[in-house]
Chain A
Amino acid sequence: MLESFADFFQQFAQENPRWNFIFFYEEKQAGKIWTGLKYTVWLSIACVIFSVIIGVIGAWLQGSNQRIARAVVQGYIQLFRNTPPFVQLLFFYFALGAFTPTYSPDGWLEVPIISNVGWAIISLSFFAGAFNVEIFRAGIEAVPHSTQEASESLGMSRLQTYRYVVLPLALRVSLPALNNNLVNLVKTTTQAFAIAVPELLYQCVTIWNDYPSAQYPAMLLMFVVYIGMVGILVFGMSRWERALRIPGYGK
């Protein structure tokens, strides 16, 4: 079965010289795609998790009594929301990367403690996190002040009120917007290509540099993979949204 699958695409490439699906019949190229896929999935999951954590903490700090904390969050949002994520990525890797300490595993090599993958995760998480702060803030503002007062007058601390009352309610309001932002984030991970993170786009480019005939098929593959990944994310998010629905509340 697999044999005939590979044979089919080899045959297909001979008949259609611009449509060489080389990664379907050559093991080495297939391996590149798998590696790329692994990095893309890993990058997406890490960035989604960290950006949501940044969003939750940022939104909490925005409601803080400390003026400095609020100013820091506001500055962060303005900086990361209003500059191109691509430039942020380059800046993190090249400018900040130059100052990060290195270690030497063998006495000769100097390896930075934060790899390019690390910088990609940091940079993209902070980028998407800035939007998540605003998304959660909108959700928090939709929670009636009187509900928080009730929680406070039961003796709950501000943190408990946030954790058990405000956040669960705000999350329900925020989910559709969060969904959108996370979809964007997953697609933006392709920009890690620029700092040589071996994710899917990077691998595809190396393939089509070696085999120009594989360029269109590789692009096609990218589309299919991203549609699949975003599809899974959206499916998961809408399942979550349904699971959080409360009987008799905000139809």
Chain B
Amino acid sequence: MTANSTWTPDQPIVSIKNVQKSFGDFQVLKGIDMDIQKGEVICIIGPSGSGKSTLIRCINALNDIQGGSIKVEGQEVHDPDLDKLELRKKVGMVFQQYNLFPHKTVLQNIMMAPVLVLKENKAEVEERARSLVKKVRLGGKEDAYPGELSGGQQQRVAIARSLAMRPDIMLFDEVTAALDPETVKEVLVTIKDLAEDGMTCILVTHEMGFAREVADHIYFTDRGVIVEHGPPNTFFDSAKDERTKLFLSQIL
């Protein structure tokens, strides 16, 4: 926590320097640099296998790195002495497959971590959980089980579950990739609300329209490096790199 005390909100909330990551002999990340300010919305786009998901999984230490540094609020994430629980209180994550706890109701899913990890008062947590359910527009589904909900509804519960921990940063790992097209929008609207509330969001996404509308900054990765980055308008309208242009022409 000593490193933490030197961090001030005007410094990058997430600072990624020359990150190297390999799975066995296969190098996924080959020197990634990124600075993210508090309240920024970052979209990471790129072809499959370019290391996008791996990168954001490194930010909350679900994956380890072989070289470089990732600092969250000044704290080195890959310090072997790091208290992972402390890190994960600050960084929320939402997954492609929702990964809700199937044996718990919507409300129980949301309440579990604040009660068990933050040791907060159950009644207060429940109140907060109920308002979060409403915030993600699922009022009335408090006592439903995940298996009774659609994919889009489950994903919104997953977002609420993360938010219940009051994180400073939210990571979204292709959260709409497993959804039916008609439910994608409801999830995106939820994320957009969050972004407008000032939450620092890091998204891996294939939703280019959404990225353009909501992101403050776009990063394009390919084969483990950042090929190009910039504010959405510059990025989408006047990409310079050939690989970026090719990717955009295929996807847009």
Judging by beta carbons under 8 Å apart, are B145 and A154 in contact? no
Given A155-B165, A157-B85, A160-B117, residue A248 in contact with residue B99 (CB < 8 A): no
Binds B, one of A96-104, A162-170, A179-187, A212-220: A162-170
A151 at the B interface (CB under 8 A): yes
Interface string of A138-160 (1 = CB under 8 A from B): 00000010110111111111001
A146 with B147: CB separation less than 8 A: no
Question: Which A residues touch B47, using CB under 8 A?
Answer: none
In the complex, are the beta carbons of B165 and A154 less than 8 A apart? yes
State which size class the interface on A falls in.
20 to 34
A156 touches which of B60, B62, B100, B113 (Cβ 8 Å): B113
* Contact indicator per residue, chain B 12-28, by CB within 8 Å of chain A (1) or not (0): 00000000000000000
Q: Is A109 in the interface zone, CB < 8 Å from B?
A: no
- Which B residues lie within 8 Å of A169 (CB)? 101-103
Closest residue to B118 on the A side, CB-wise? A155
Name the distance in Å between A246's Cβ and chain B's nearest Cβ: 5
> In chain A, residues 115-157, which have Cβ atoms closer than 8 Å to a Cβ of chain B?
144, 146-147, 149-157
- Which B residues touch A248, using CB under 8 A? 145-149
Q: Mark A194-232, 1 if CB is under 8 A from B, else 0.
A: 000000000000000000000000000000000000000
Assess whether A246 is in contact with B103, with CB atoms less than 8 Å apart.
Answer: yes
In the assembled complex, 17 residue pairs joining A and B whose CB atoms fall closer than 8 Å, in A order, are A144-B99, A146-B97, A147-B101, A150-B93, A150-B99, A153-B60, A153-B91, A154-B92, A154-B112, A155-B165, A156-B117, A164-B101, A164-B116, A169-B101, A246-B103, A248-B146, A248-B148
Measured CB to CB, the closest approach of chain B to A111, in angstroms, equals 46
Q: Does B88 contact A (CB under 8 A)?
A: yes
A108 at the interface (CB under 8 A from B): no
Q: A164-B116, A244-B103, A248-B145 are in contact. List 15 more A-B contacts (CB 8 A).
A: A144-B99, A147-B101, A149-B99, A152-B84, A153-B60, A153-B91, A154-B88, A155-B89, A156-B113, A169-B101, A172-B103, A246-B147, A248-B148, A249-B102, A250-B102
Residues in A whose Cβ lies below 8 Å from that of B89: 155
Question: Which B residues lie within 8 Å of A172 (CB)?
Answer: 103
Cα–Cα, bound, A160→B88 (Å): 14
